[in-house]
Amino acid sequence: MTRLREQVLSLIWQSHRPLGAYDILDSLNADGRKAAPPTVYRTLDFLQRMGLVHRIASLNAFVGCTQPSHHHSGCFLICETCHNVLELPSSSIRNAIEGEARKQGFAPRETVVEVTGLCPACKDDGPTNE
Amino acid sequence: MTRLREQVLSLIWQSHRPLGAYDILDSLNADGRKAAPPTVYRTLDFLQRMGLVHRIASLNAFVGCTQPSHHHSGCFLICETCHNVLELPSSSIRNAIEGEARKQGFAPRETVVEVTGLCPACKDDGPTNE
DNA sequence: CCCTCGAACGTTATACTATAACCCATGTCC
DNA sequence: GGACATGGGTTATAGTATAACGTTCGAGGG
Ligand SMILES: [Zn+2]
Ligand SMILES: [Zn+2]
Ligand SMILES: [Zn+2]
Ligand SMILES: [Zn+2]
C-alpha cells in the first residue's frame, strides 16, 4: 500500500457514490499530486485486484467494496435519483446465476449484476427532489 | 421502421457477436451511407426502446434480442475467447434479483446481468484456439 | 392549397472513458 | 555492483458517447 493507493482508496471510501476515474484524477491533482489518467487507472486496477474496489460497468465508475474480506463480483442496487449504490451480499444470487450458466455448459469467471431503480428514500420522497 | 433502422438491425442480427457502435458506423459507411456517430446511437436507442436490441454494458456493445416479443432486461453469457454471447431466458434469475432488491426497499427498473467466462466450445477446446 | 408541426436523419464539434508506449526512480537479491 | 521487479510520471492516442443545430419530408388542419 503506497501513499497514492491509500489516497485513491480513501477518496472512494469517502464518497458514498460511485466515482469516475476522472473525478479521482481531479481530486488528486487538486491535492497537489501531478497525475495523469494512467496513474489513476493503474491504481484502480490494483485496488480491484486487491478486492477493495468494484467497477460499475453500467456507470463507468468505481465504488468501495463493503466485504473486502474475500474476492467476489459485486451485486449492486443503483439509485437513479440520488446515485447512491448499495452492494448486496450477493453469494446466493451469484450462485443461482452461475448455476444457470453451468447448466448451459458455460464456465463462469466473472459476474456483473447491476440493478438500477429507486432507493427506499427516493422512492418514497416522490418526484420532488432530484 | 425506416431503411436505416432495418439496415442496423440486420447488421446486428447477422453478427453473432456483439457489435460496437463504431463497427456499425463503419459498416454503414462502407455501404454507401454517409453516417456519423449520432446517427448510429440514435438508431440503437430506438432499437433498444423497441426491445429488439440489448446493450452489453461490460463490452460497450450491442446484440440482437432473442425474445423480442416482450420488453425485458437481458441476461448474458459472454465468452472471453470466441466472444459469442448467449442470451438466457432470464425471468427466473431476474425475479430472484429483483425480489432481493425489493427486500431492501429498492424499486428496480432495469437489471443488468452479464456473466463472462468460457462457452462450452472454448472451454473444451483448451487454450489452443483464440 | 398553404401552413405548421414533428420525426428522422445529417453535420459539426466536443465531452468522456481508457490504454499504449516509454521513461526513470527505488528497492531487493545475488 | 548488476540484474531484475515494482511504482508511477509523461506524452500521445484510441475508443465511446452526446450536444446542438440544420434540413427534409410527410401528416393533418385551416
Ligand atoms: Zn464487494
Ligand atoms: Zn436514491
Ligand atoms: Zn432479450
Ligand atoms: Zn467461446
Question: Considering only CA atoms, which of A37, A5, A44 is closest in space to residue A22?
Answer: A37
Whether A54 contacts A48, CB under 8 Å: yes
CB of B109 less than 8 A from some CB of A: yes
- A1-66 folds as Arc Repressor Mutant, subunit A (1.10.10)
Comparing B51 with B16, which gets the higher pLDDT? B51
- Percent of chain A scoring above 70 in pLDDT: 96
Band (pLDDT 50/70/90 cuts) for residue A5 is very high
Work out the mean pLDDT of chain B and round it to a whole number: 94
Question: Is the pLDDT at A65 greater than 70, yes or no?
Answer: yes
Q: Name the residue with higher pLDDT: B129 or B11.
A: B11
* Protein CA at B49 to nucleotide C1' at D16, angstroms: 20
Indicate whether A126 pLDDT > 90: no
Lowest mean pLDDT among A8-12, A25-29, A65-69: A65-69
Q: For chains A and B, what is the number of CB pairs under 8 angstroms?
A: 114
User: Is residue A130 over pLDDT 50?
Assistant: no
C-alpha cell at B77: 453469457
What cell does B3 get? Answer: 431503411
Residue percentage of chain A with pLDDT more than 90: 90
Question: In which residue are the cell numbers 450477493 written?
Answer: A90
pLDDT value at residue A129: 45
Q: What's the mean per-residue pLDDT of chain A?
A: 94
Q: Where are the domains of chain B?
A: 1-66, 72-130
pLDDT of residue A44: 98
In this predicted structure, the answer to whether residue B35 has a pLDDT above a threshold of 80 is yes
Q: pLDDT at residue A81 above 50?
A: yes
Nearest residue in chain B measured CA to CA from A115: B111
**Full-model pTM:** 0.94
Our measurement of CA A36 to C1' C19, in angstroms, reads 12
Please name the fold of domain B72-130. Dna Ligase; domain 1 (3.30.1490)
CA A76 vs. chain centroid, Å, equals: 8
Instruction: Judge whether residue A41 contacts strand C, using its CB and a 7 Å cut-off.
Output: yes
In one-letter notation, the amino acid at residue A49 is R
Of chain B, the end-to-end C-alpha distance in Å amounts to: 38
Mean pLDDT of the B18-31 span = 98
* B90-124 per-position pLDDT tens digit: 889 999 999 999 999 999 999 999 999 999 999 98
